[in-house]
Homo-oligomer: A and B are copies of this chain.
Amino acid sequence: MKNNKSYFRKNIDEMDGYTPGEQPRDMKYVKLNTNENPYPPSPAVMKALKSLDAGRLRLYPDPLACELRKTIADIFGLKSESIIVGNGSDDILTITTRAFAGEKDSIACFEPSYSLYPVLAELQGCRCIKIPLGYDGDFYIPSDSAKKANGAKLFYIARPNAPTGTLFPIGEIRKICRNFKGIVFVDEAYADFADDNCVGLLEEFPNLIVGRTMSKSYSLAGLRLGFALASGKIIEGMMKVKDSYNVGMPVQVLATAALKDRKYFNETREKICRTRRYLVKSLLEKGFEVCGSQSNFVFAAPPDKDGEGVYRRLKKNGVLVRYFKGPVTGRYVRITVGTDKEIRILLRNI
């Protein structure tokens, strides 16, 4: 047995792995770098947590997560058969990739967009077709996107887009669903902070999957719950790919509690949208260029277009934001919408 022998697949050996945002273990930073919600989860989650029966942990969770899926279905006016839940939306994205794209296939995505999509392709050993977004001071979908993506089995589109915050016109998504021959996965991780979403398109397009997460708008990043909405046929196939017990019992119970508290959800969402407007206005006043954000973060470029400089200056002063290298993205920083107080600290130090 030679020591330098690798047992790994070639694609795994050659890849770097995904780099998540910094998660500093001490809390000295004002943390505006990973799009977490600045408010705690619903009090209903606290209550459900306190009344959880630890004795029940000895039993496997419901593999079909019936109550949780029914709760989600009710919110969206769909049937449970149209819902799959996962261990965070990472799990949903992994299930989707494995269900639709094999080693000889390709996956399409825009650039810049969520940097996990190309990593998912690498992990699966398939090719990634990166379609550059148009840029005219803001980012837009080029008109020939479906054509460029064709040949791919799967098209990942984040809407609102990350890290830019852009809400691509819904007509553009419709056009892609119509003209692209594979599965269109619209990743709506941030859609709860936006004016509209693509759930209404599900009836129209059998090749559409809409992905959601409870990490942002429900303040449950630590819990891990993501889900997808699609036709019953698509969900049925995806269920074969998921791990049998991919969502633990406490997660099912706490997520259900959070989803049922519509009042708290709406209030929190509105507070964040209000702070976002304040942040955008203040940045514009300071001469920043700001992308039209419809999410819980803002993508903003300082007058000198030195995104990295802003990132470093803020970090030195105890404020974490995120910076993305690149000829265009490098001009910007991505700032999570925190509390008003956190945003005031950011603005003082930017």
Contact = CB atoms under 8 A, between A and B. Distances in A.
Nearest to A63: B20
Interface string A39-60: 1110001100110101111111
B99 A215 contact: no
Contact of A57 (B7, B59, B223): B223
Nearest to A13: B237
Nearest to A8: B237
Interface in A195-224: 205-207, 215, 219-224
Interface residues of A, number: 83
A88 interface: yes
Contact of A58 (B101, B219, B249): B219
A328 to B, nearest CB: 25
A248 to B, nearest CB: 4
Given A9-B100, A207-B1, A250-B250, A57 B220 contact: yes
A325 to B, nearest CB: 19
Given A20-B244, A100-B8, A40 B55 contact: yes
A1 B221 contact: no
A243 B50 contact: no
Given A87-B246, A222-B249, A244-B20, A57 B45 contact: yes
Interface in A1-27: 1, 3, 6-9, 11-13, 15-18, 20, 23, 25
A95 to B, nearest CB: 10
A20 B224 contact: no
A36 B9 contact: no
Contacts of A245: 20, 88, 90, 221, 224
Nearest to A119: B240
A70 B17 CA distance: 22
A73 to B, nearest CB: 18
A41 B60 contact: no
B241 A12 contact: yes
A61 interface: yes
Contacts of A183: 7
A247 B223 CA distance: 9
Contacts of A59: 23, 31, 36, 221-222
Nearest to A43: B54
Nearest to A215: B60
Given A41-B55, A223-B249, 6 more contacts: A7-B182, A49-B52, A59-B222, A61-B222, A94-B243, A98-B123
24 contacts: A1-B205, A7-B100, A8-B237, A9-B98, A15-B240, A17-B239, A23-B62, A25-B62, A36-B59, A40-B58, A45-B54, A49-B52, A49-B54, A58-B220, A61-B221, A87-B91, A87-B246, A90-B244, A90-B246, A222-B250, A223-B250, A224-B246, A224-B247, A250-B250
Q: Which 5 A-B pairs have the closest CB atoms?
A: A222-B249, A17-B240, A90-B243, A58-B219, A40-B55
